[in-house]
Structure 1
Amino acid sequence: MSTEAQTEPASIRYGLIGTGTMGREHIRNVGLIDGSEIVAIADPHAPSREAAQQLLGGTAAEYEDHATMLAEADLDALIVATPNDTHADILIDVMSGGRRLPILVEKPLCTTPDDVERLRAAARDYDAPIWVAMEYRYMPPMQALLDETHGGGLGTPRMLAITEHRFPFLDKVDNWNRYAARTGGTLVEKACHFFDLMRLILRDEPVRVYASGAADVNHRDESYDGHVPDILDNAFVVVDFAGGSRALLNLCMFAEGTRFQEHVSVVGDTAKVECFVPVSGAHWEGARADAYVELSPRDPQGPVQRPVPVDPAILEAGGHHGSTYYEHLRFQQVVRGEAEVEVTLEDGLRAVLMGMAAERSAAEHVPVELDFSAR
């Protein structure tokens, strides 16, 4: 037997760019994981930095801009959680610098078609991992649904329906999330999660998008610098896939009294599987409910329901049903060189392109064709 001392791996030193609502969710979740620590933060907004330091116990080096942090801080990896329209420029700053740090970047990757091509070009010469934070993949009930779907028990998936009925957009610094010019539009900002899930669940690529949506209820009484918010607050989106399957998104952002915020249904030749994800207790205190999956075979008939519990401490660390925690566990393995990136830059860009097509379809009342084959 070896008598050599077993040493623990060194803690991963993260730099966090963006300390707003989502940045602080990353802080809480990294804090739950052994071998990870946030040692530096960058944000031009002093109150956000102060709120982050409260969570960190005042231990992080603090910067007003990410360029100075990148130049001065001793880091092993980066987390980017800034407003949507800043992601592309920050990523390109990082990728064009001399350091090759693994990056976990929040969705959506960008907000304009030009940024899609800029990011693709910059990433060709960047040889460190880039992971796009599509948290919804990592909700435990969503993982259970994926296991059932990809395990073959459904036969060939033919129909996918994703419903998210939830609360309106949260208040953010300078209300940047009230306008399509900064968010990319609701079907980019919010729905890129669901377009990513569609590709992941069906293991196929979209060819056509039809969307109908409007700004009917939320933020109608708000005005900033004389402009009323223009983001959609409800939509239906139908997506046709190359293999013949089709998917539906049913999104409503004025349904905050709903107990289950997400409901996903996949119907195959031989069975149907559904998952039900409750709204976070942080948004509705009376919403305590357990997530579950339900498998409904055609023969023998009779649904089988299975609860999917999540540790309450993990649920309380964020508003995405534990997914940020589980995503960070996997990203930590990537940083240590023990695993491959699961949500690539191209995955993130394709979800954005689907969202852009849906926004255009809703605005112009036309179907929009998609073709990723030449990209």
Structure 2
Amino acid sequence: MKTINYGLIGCGMMGQEHLRNIALLEGTRVAAIFEPDATMAQAALDLVPGAQLVSSVEALLGLPELDALVIVSPNHLHVAQLELIAARRPLPVLVEKPLYTMTEDAGRVQRLLETYPAPVWVAMEYRYMPPIAALLDQAQAATGGVRMLTIREHRFPFLPKVGDWNRFNRNTGGTLVEKCCHFFDLMRLVIESEPVRVMASAGQAVNHKDEAYGGEVPDIWDNAYVIVDFASGARAMLELCMFAEGSRYQEEVSAVGPMGKIEALVPGPGRFWPVALGSPPVPQLIVSPRSPKGPHRIDIPVDPALLAAGDHNGSTYYQHQRFLDVVRGQGVPEVSLNDGFAAVRMGLAAQESALTGQAVVLASKL
């Protein structure tokens, strides 16, 4: 079996999670990394001491042994880096979410969608969290067709990033793009329809108000409610709170239809769980049929080795397994450029709705 050589663009906290998970895959090697921050670059080399550190994306693309790329740079750099790769050497790419951050970049993304000749997979890790993957697999049978979907995330504040780029809307697209594109992706996937109207209320209530960077106070939001109407008549709601890190479960997903309800309960990163409370919670799936009444609760434990490799309940590993299959020519990306585009479009509409106090109407077709 041929060894697949990866090049990584960006090796901060999330980039290092990708490094740890690629290391768990058979027949893979991280050959080179581009990371301009010296501290992060050294941390990455500590994980993959055999990798070559290069000085630019262009230098990375010049290495003939590369088979695939992983983009884990700050959000606002993704589109330009994809365009550079397309022009210089269009290898298979796994690009972190969000795919883009501004409405003005939508045309550039559409051109990539239409012309990029190799597979591009947008990293939507939440699809692959084991309890959410189980919900996705069973949702239609358990509900008889999802008519209402609720996603609640009660979690810790944004973590520090290199250069504090994630404290400002101009770099992230805003919280409802940066953080919540995962959830809008899940909405489309579960409901199997396209959004037609987005309504949101959001703001900055608690976090980062006492911080300043270069004389600027962060403007990133820390809480929101978002309601989305879909062309099928189904509707979904997101409840986000980023000052609730004491919660037992970080994500709670509930899908309901005429036959019943199905829920996925996902704990946050184990490294944040208080040691005094013992072992972290185990993910759960709960199926509650209307007849015969009564919930069925199933524990869905995650391999400890996968939990140790990152903060996303093993999902980064499962995502990389499937991406590796695509790089080897076995299948197509499960999370396409179109999926990445659609999730950001919903996030940008939610940002606009919260700013204006008005619902934003979307075309039913992308």
Per the alignment, residue 88 of structure 1 pairs with 79
2:60 to 61, 64, 69: 69
**CA distance 1:324–1:297, shift in 2 (3 Å):** same
Which residue of 2 is the match for residue 348 of structure 1?
Answer: 340
User: Aligned partner of 1:263: which letter?
Assistant: E
How far apart in 1 are the matches of 2:7 and 2:155? 31
- Structure 1 contact 43–66 (Cα < 8 Å) conserved: no
* C-alpha displacement of 1:371: 1.0
| CA distance, structure 2, for counterparts of residue 360 and residue 196 of structure 1 | 18
Which of the numbers 101, 104, 108 marks the counterpart of 2:98? 108
Does the 8 A contact of 1:79 with 1:103 survive in 2? Answer: yes
- Of 108, 117, 123, which aligns to 1:133? 123
Q: Structure 1 residue 64: deviation in Å?
A: 2.1
Which of 151, 154, 158 is residue 162 of structure 1 equivalent to? 151
2:326 touches 2:333 (CA, 8 Å); kept in 1?
yes
In the superposition, the TM-score normalised over structure 2's length comes to: 0.97
Instruction: Give distance in 1, aligned partners of 2:39 and 2:142.
Output: 51
Does the CA contact (< 8 Å) of 1:45 and 1:64 recur in 2? no
Matched, 1:53 2:45: yes
Whether 1:31 and 2:20 are equivalent positions in the alignment is no
Aligned residues: 363
Return the alpha-carbon distance in structure 1 between the equivalents of residues 228 and 318 of structure 2: 28
Aligned to 2:243: 254
Shift of 1:217: 0.2
Check whether the contact 2:231–2:364 (CA below 8 A) recurs between aligned residues: no
Partner of 1:124 in structure 2? Answer: 114
The CA deviation at 1:123 is: 3.5
1:73 deviation in Å?
4.7
Point out 4+ residue stretches in structure 1 off by more than 4 angstroms: none
Shift of 1:360: 0.5
Structure 1, residues 274-314: CA drift from partner, whole Å, max 9, x if none?
A: 01001111223446010010000001101001111110010
Q: For 1:127 and 1:285, how far apart are their aligned partners in 2? A: 47
Deviations 1:343-375 (A, max 9, x none): 0001001100100000000011110011152x4
User: Whole-Å Cα distance in 2 between the matches of residues 291 and 112 of structure 1?
Assistant: 35
Q: How does 1:263-278 map to 2 (within 5 A)?
A: 263-278=252-267
Separation in 2 of the partners of 1:147 and 1:219?
38
Q: Percent identity?
A: 52
The code of the aligned residue for 1:248 comes to M
1:318-341 CA deviation, whole Å, 9 max, x = no partner? Answer: 111110000000001000111111
Matched residue SS, 1:25: helix
Equivalent position to 1:239, from 210, 225, 228 = 228
- Structure 1 CA distance for aligned equivalents of residues 80 and 340 of structure 2: 16
AA at the equivalent of 2:332:
E
Q: Are 1:326 and 2:314 counterparts?
A: no
Q: Which residue of 2 aligns with 1:5?
A: none
2:184 aligned residue (195, 212, 225)? 195
Number of the residue aligned with 2:165:
176
Task: Tell me the secondary structure at the aligned position of residue 157 of structure 1.
Answer: coil
**Residue 153 to residue 281, structure 1, CA distance change in 2 (3 Å):** closer
RMSD across aligned positions (CA): 1.0
Q: Which residue of 2 aligns with 1:307?
A: 299
SS at match of 1:94: helix
In structure 1, stretches of 5+ residues that fail to align are 1-8
Contact 1:95 1:123 in 2 (8 A): no
**1:65 deviation in Å?**
1.2
Structure 1 residues 73 and 253: alpha-carbon distance in aligned structure 2, compared to 1, 3 A threshold = farther
What is the CA-CA distance between 1:17 and the residue it aligns to? 0.4
CA distance in 2, matches of 1:112, 1:94: 20
Find the partner of 1:186 among 175, 197, 202.
Answer: 175
Q: Which runs of 5+ in 2 are unaligned?
A: none
Distance 1:341 1:218 in 2: 36
Alignment partners' CA distance in 1, 2:24 and 2:271: 18
Deviations, residues 56-90 of structure 1 (Å, cap 9, x unaligned): 1x210111211111113520000000000000000
Deviates more, 1:68-77 or 1:338-347: 68-77
Give the counterpart letter for 1:142 in structure 2.
I
Is 2:136 aligned against 1:146? yes
